[in-house]
Chain A
Amino acid sequence: MTIEIRTLTAGNVWKVLVQPGDNVAEGDVLFIMEVMKMEVPHTAPAGGKVTAVYVAADQEGLDADAPAVDLEEVA
Chain B
Amino acid sequence: MRKLLIANRGEIAVRIMRAAKSLGIATVAVYSEADAAALHVASADEAVLIGPPRPADSYLKVEAILAAARQTGADAIHPGYGFLAENAAFAAAVEDAGPVFVGPTAAQIAMMGDKARARDAAAAAGVPVLPASARLAPGGLEGLEAAGEAVGYPLLVKAVAGGGGIGMRLVARPEDLRAAVESLQSMAQRAFGDGTAYLERYVAAARHVEVQVFGLGDGRAAHLFERECSVQRRFQKILEESPSPGITRDARTAMQMAAQALAAAVSYRSAGTIEFVVDDDTKEFFFLEMNTRIQVEHPVTEMVAGRDLVQLQLRLARGEDCAPLLDGLVARGHAIECRLCAENPERMFLPSPGRISRLSLPEGPDLRIDTGVREGDTVSAFYDSLLAKVIVHAADRNAAIEAMRAALSAITIEGITTTLPFLIRLLDHPAFIDGRTLTGFIETHRATLFPPKTGETAA
> Which residues of A are in contact with B by a Cβ distance under 8 Å?
8-12, 35-38, 40, 60-61, 64
B53 touches A11 (CB 8 A): no
B354: chain A residues at CB < 8 Å are: 10, 64
Ranked nearest first, the 7 interchain pairs of A and B with the lowest CB-CB distance are: A11-B381, A36-B351, A35-B351, A36-B385, A35-B381, A10-B353, A38-B351
In the complex, residue of chain B having the shortest beta-carbon distance to the beta carbon of A37: B384
| Contact of A9 with B382 at beta-carbon distance under 8 Å, contacts A36-B342, A60-B53 already known | no
Q: Could you tell me if A40 and B351 are in contact, using CB atoms closer than 8 angstroms?
A: yes
What chain A residues lie within 8 Å of B353 (beta carbons)?
9-11, 35-36
Question: Smallest distance from the beta carbon of B220 to chain A beta carbons, Å?
Answer: 36
Whether the Cβ atoms of A36 and B53 lie closer than 8 Å is no
Please tell me if the beta carbons of B351 and A9 are within 8 angstroms of each other in the complex.
yes
Considering the complex, which residues of chain B in the window 37-84 have a beta carbon less than 8 Å from any beta carbon of chain A?
53-54
| A12 x B350 contact (CB < 8 A) | no
Q: Are A8 and B53 in contact (CB under 8 A)?
A: no
Quick check: is B352 within 8 A (CB to CB) of the other chain?
yes
> B384 — which chain A residues lie within 8 A by C-beta?
36-37
* A residues in contact with B342, CB < 8 Å: 36
Contact (Cβ within 8 A) B383 A9:
no
A9, B342: Cα distance in complex, Å:
11
Main secondary structure of the interface of A (DSSP, over half): loop
Quick one: CB contact mask for B121-163 with A, threshold 8 Å, 1 for yes? Answer: 0000000000000000000000000000000000000000000
Q: Counting chain B CB atoms within 10 Å of each CB, which of A8, A10, A11 scores highest?
A: A10
Further 16 A-B residue pairs, CB within 8 A, beyond A9-B351, A9-B381, A36-B351: A8-B347, A9-B352, A9-B353, A10-B353, A10-B354, A11-B353, A11-B381, A35-B351, A35-B381, A36-B343, A36-B353, A36-B383, A38-B234, A38-B385, A60-B54, A61-B381
Q: Which residues of A lie under 8 Å from residue B383 when comparing CB positions?
A: 36-37
Closest B residue, CB atoms, query A35: B351
Task: Give bound CA distance, A38 to B381, whole Å.
Answer: 10
Kindly state the separation between the CA atoms of A11 and B53 in the bound complex, as whole angstroms. Answer: 12
B346 → A minimal CB distance (Å): 13
Q: What CA separation (Å) do A31 and B22 show in the bound complex?
A: 48
Instruction: Give per-residue flags for B342-382: 1 if the beta carbon is below 8 A from chain A beta carbons, else 0.
Output: 11000100111110000000000000000000000000011
* CB-defined contacts of A64 to chain B, threshold 8 Å: 354
Asked whether A8 lies within 8 Å of B350 as measured between CB atoms, the reply is yes
Q: Which residues of A contact B381 (CB under 8 A)?
A: 9-12, 35-36, 61
**Complex interface: chain A residues within 8 A of B343 (CB):** 36
Q: What are 20 A-to-B residue pairs whose CB atoms are below 8 Å?
A: A8-B347, A9-B350, A9-B351, A9-B353, A9-B381, A11-B351, A11-B353, A12-B382, A35-B353, A35-B381, A36-B342, A36-B351, A36-B353, A36-B381, A36-B385, A37-B384, A38-B234, A38-B385, A40-B351, A60-B53
> A42 to chain B: closest CB distance in Å?
11
Give CA–CA (A2, B84) in the complex, Å: 45
- How far is the CB of B440 from the nearest CB of chain A, in Å? 20
User: How far apart are B56's CB and chain A's nearest CB, in angstroms?
Assistant: 11
B54 contact set on A, CB distance < 8 A: 60
Complex CA gap A35/B350 in Å reads: 9
Tell me how far the C-beta of B57 lies from the nearest C-beta in chain A, rounded to whole angstroms: 11
Docked complex Cα distance between A31 and B360 (Å): 37
Q: Which of A8, A35, A60, A61 has the most CB of B within 10 A?
A: A35
A6 CB → nearest B CB, Å: 13
Closest Cβ–Cβ distance, residue A62 to chain B (whole Å):
8
| Highest count of chain A CB atoms <10 Å: which of B234, B354, B381 | B381
CB-nearest residue of chain A to B381 = A11
A65: min CB distance to chain B, Å: 12
A60–B57 Cα gap in the complex (Å)? 14
A37 to chain B, nearest CB (A): 6
Closest residue of A by beta carbon distance from B349:
A38
Cα A40 to Cα B234 in complex, Å, equals 13
